[in-house]
Amino acid sequence: MTTDIKKGLAGVFADVTAISKVDPEINSLVYRGYPVQELAATQPFEAVAYLLWNGELPTDEQLAELRAIEHANRALSPAVKDLIDAMPVDSHPMDEVRTVVSLLGAIDTAGIDNVLDAVGTPAENLDRSIRLFAALPAVIAYGQRRRHGDELIEPRDDLDYAANFLWMTFGEEADPAVVDAFNRSMVLYAEHSFNASTFTARVIASTLSDLYSAVVGAIGALKGPLHGGANEAVLHVFTEIGSAENVGAWLDEALAAKRKIMGFGHRVYKRGDSRVPTMKAALDTLVAHYDRPDVAELYDTLESEFVARKGIYPNLDYPSGPAYSLMGFDTLTFTPLFIAARVTGWTAHIMEQQASNALIRPLSAYDGPDERHIDGYVPDAADVEALQRPEEAAD
Ligand SMILES: CC(C)(COP(=O)(O)OP(=O)(O)OC[C@H]1O[C@@H](n2cnc3c(N)ncnc32)[C@H](O)[C@@H]1OP(=O)(O)O)[C@@H](O)C(=O)NCCC(=O)NCCS
């Protein structure tokens, strides 16, 4: 067996990217050269989306143009609403969003009867990316409302992306401090190099499949609790523990059972996730706004006890889970919020992959049974010829 296996592709550089850089040595994450903390503190999410797609922050005019397209595509179309309503009311919202993106792709690529054309031009794919980014908040907001038996709320044209997202979910205008915390979370979640879902999107794009198919695959990868599903899982942990005084006993039991503690650890960052301090500051603002010191106490106690015992630090999902909970989002809605943000990074990567494409197709080392044969089978000439072909040629 080949010895040079990188299980989980850990430590492998699969390609180059100009979209973001994660540097765990100095605990830094930059989008197109800008530290994510600076972007979170100063930019609306729409401007960060523009940056990821185009490589530069927008001018006022460019931002206004992007916002105009975003506003024009925010409302839930009747076809999408019907599709959501056709799904069981207790279906997981990740499945709802994944299914809706599939429908949007089918509508958008209808009439294209040559698979080579579905890949789209760079301009078409930028346009698809903006419309998808604009359409998802209504899907996620309505998903949460439907689970509560509430009616759809139409978007408000006078509100920007973050404020309108909260409006469509809760039907009331959010406090500016809450809008700011939500906007920061969107910026922090927008992009993170070759994480599992982005890499999935790039693998699909590398076959020259269309952008929607790549996003659907990425959503599937994001759902898992080792990736995006962790923010939802963090809240389950908080609920299980109950309050700060139970942390020690809960951890004793969880670690004895060799449980992975959700919201801690990272494949790339080993000394702390560069996004956590910014999101923790946003969480602190929300704790003060909603007067919930108990949340901060549980957060701090679990963090300090777990770090003291295992030396493993929180990742972004640790502060974002309780932050979204305080804002009023259902636990089930947390990972869909991650989709709304990360769709910008995914689509930027899909376009980058297609601009300089190589089919992503690694090798596998075989460790199954030795060659064997069907009793009584007599190979014919074609089989004999096939055996002389290169091993990996028949995908
Ligand atoms: C994110 C994650 C998958 C990274 O995993 P990885 O780079 O493959 O590292 P491993 O899972 O091999 O972990 C290395 C060691 O740390 C331990 N570890 C890592 N994260 C842990 C956690 N959250 N809780 C308990 N132990 C953890 C592993 O058990 C392993 O210990 P071992 O060497 O004694 O077996 C992992 O840290 C994890 O499962 N975290 C919880 C889920 C989560 O928060 N995901 C969101 C990521 S942004």
Instruction: Judge whether 171 lies within some domain.
Output: yes
Share of the chain above pLDDT 70, in %: 97
Same domain, 335 and 349: yes
| Whether residue 373 lies in the annotated active site | no
Same domain, 346 and 287: no
Residue nearest atom 13 of ligand 1, based on CA coordinates: 265
Distance from C-alpha of 33 to C-alpha of 57, rounded to nearest angstrom: 11
Count H helices and E strands in the chain, helices first.
18, 3
Instruction: Judge whether 10 lies within some domain.
Output: no
**Is a pLDDT exceeding 70 seen at residue 291?**
yes
Per-residue confidence at 309, pLDDT binned at 50, 70, 90?
very high
**Is a pLDDT exceeding 70 seen at residue 119?**
yes
Same domain, 195 and 263: no
Same domain, 335 and 297: no
**Is a pLDDT exceeding 90 seen at residue 379?**
no
Instruction: Judge whether 77 lies within some domain.
Output: yes
Spacing, Cα 90 to ligand 1 middle (Å): 30
Same domain, 239 and 351: no
Relative to the CA of 267, which ligand 1 atom is closest?
7
Spacing, Cα 46 to ligand 1 middle (Å): 33
Same domain, 303 and 199: no
Shortest CA distance to 104 belongs to which of 343, 334, 353?
343
Shortest CA distance to 190 belongs to which of 239, 238, 129?
129
At 201 the pLDDT is: 98
- In order, the DSSP letters of 83-141 are HHHHS-TTS-HHHHHHHHHHHHHHHHTTT--SHHHHT--HHHHHHHHHHHHHHHHHHHH
Instruction: Judge whether 372 lies within some domain.
Output: no
Spacing, Cα 242 to ligand 1 middle (Å): 23
Distance from C-alpha of 97 to C-alpha of 311, rounded to nearest angstrom: 36
Same domain, 130 and 248: no
Domain of residue 309, residue span: 230-325
Relative to the CA of 260, which ligand 1 atom is closest?
24
Domain boundary, last residue among 274, 306, 325: 325
**Is a pLDDT exceeding 60 seen at residue 238?**
yes
> How buried is residue 73: exposed, middle or buried, by Cβ count under 10 Å (0-12/13-18/19+)?
middle
Q: How many domains does the chain have?
A: 2
At 389 the pLDDT is: 61
Instruction: Judge whether 91 lies within some domain.
Output: yes
- Return phi, psi of residue 21, to 5°: -135, 125
Spacing, Cα 250 to ligand 1 middle (Å): 18
CB 170 within 8 A of CB 144: no
Residue nearest atom 19 of ligand 1, based on CA coordinates: 265
Tokens of 133: 């980014």
Which of 303, 312, 316, 334 to mutate to test ligand 1, by most ligand atoms within 8 A of the CB atom? 312
Same domain, 32 and 64: yes
Which of 260, 313, 338 to mutate to test ligand 1, by most ligand atoms within 8 A of the CB atom? 260
Same domain, 61 and 75: yes
Distance from C-alpha of 273 to C-alpha of 238, rounded to nearest angstrom: 20
The ligand 1 site (C-beta within 6 Å) comprises 8, 226, 230, 260-267, 310, 312, 315, 317
Domain boundary, last residue among 282, 305, 325: 325
Distance from C-alpha of 375 to C-alpha of 322, rounded to nearest angstrom: 61
Strand partners, 314: 264
**What mean pLDDT is predicted for residues 335-356?**
98
CB 314 within 8 A of CB 276: yes
Highest mean pLDDT among 80-89, 221-230, 377-386: 80-89
Residue nearest atom 12 of ligand 1, based on CA coordinates: 267
At 62 the pLDDT is: 98
At 387 the pLDDT is: 73
**What mean pLDDT is predicted for residues 100-117?**
92
**Is a pLDDT exceeding 90 seen at residue 117?**
no
Strand partners, 334: none
At 376 the pLDDT is: 95
| Whether residue 92 lies in the annotated active site | no
Residue ranges with strand state E in the chain: 20-23, 28-31, 34-35
Q: Helices 317-327 and 293-310 sit at what angle, rounded to 10 degrees?
A: 170
Same domain, 284 and 341: no
Report long-range pairs for 356-363 (Cβ below 8 Å, ≥24 apart): 357/205, 357/206, 357/208, 358/15, 358/206, 359/206, 359/207, 360/14, 360/202, 360/203, 360/206, 361/395, 362/9, 363/2, 363/392
| Whether residue 148 lies in the annotated active site | no
- Return phi, psi of residue 31, to 5°: -105, 120
Catalytic residue among 210, 273, 317, 349: 317
At 118 the pLDDT is: 87
Catalytic residue among 108, 192, 210, 266: 266
**Is a pLDDT exceeding 70 seen at residue 1?**
no
Q: The CATH number of the domain where 63 resides is what?
A: 1.10.580.10
**Is a pLDDT exceeding 90 seen at residue 24?**
no
Same domain, 155 and 281: no
Per-residue confidence at 71, pLDDT binned at 50, 70, 90?
very high
Instruction: Judge whether 371 lies within some domain.
Output: no
What is the per-residue pLDDT across 256-282, written as a single tens digit (0 to 9) for each? 999 999 999 998 888 889 999 999 999
Domain boundary, last residue among 325, 345, 366: 325
At 394 the pLDDT is: 56
- Return phi, psi of residue 35, to 5°: -60, 135
**What mean pLDDT is predicted for residues 292-314?**
96
Catalytic residue among 180, 227, 273, 349: 227
Spacing, Cα 266 to ligand 1 middle (Å): 6
Spacing, Cα 263 to ligand 1 middle (Å): 10
Report CA-CA distances (Å) from 395 to 123, 127, 361: 31, 33, 10
Instruction: Judge whether 11 lies within some domain.
Output: no
**What mean pLDDT is predicted for residues 66-95?**
97
Mean pLDDT of the chain: 95
Same domain, 291 and 163: no
Give the burial string for 260-282 (b: 16+ CB within 10 Å, else e).
ebbbbbbebbeebbbbbebbbeb
CB 136 within 8 A of CB 343: yes
User: Which residues touch 48 (CB under 8 Å, ≥6 apart)?
Assistant: 31, 39, 186, 187, 190, 344
Q: The CATH number of the domain where 291 resides is what?
A: 1.10.230.10
Shortest CA distance to 234 belongs to which of 260, 202, 200?
260
At 281 the pLDDT is: 97
Instruction: Judge whether 306 lies within some domain.
Output: yes
What is the per-residue pLDDT across 193-216, written as a single tens digit (0 to 9) for each? 999 999 999 999 999 999 999 999
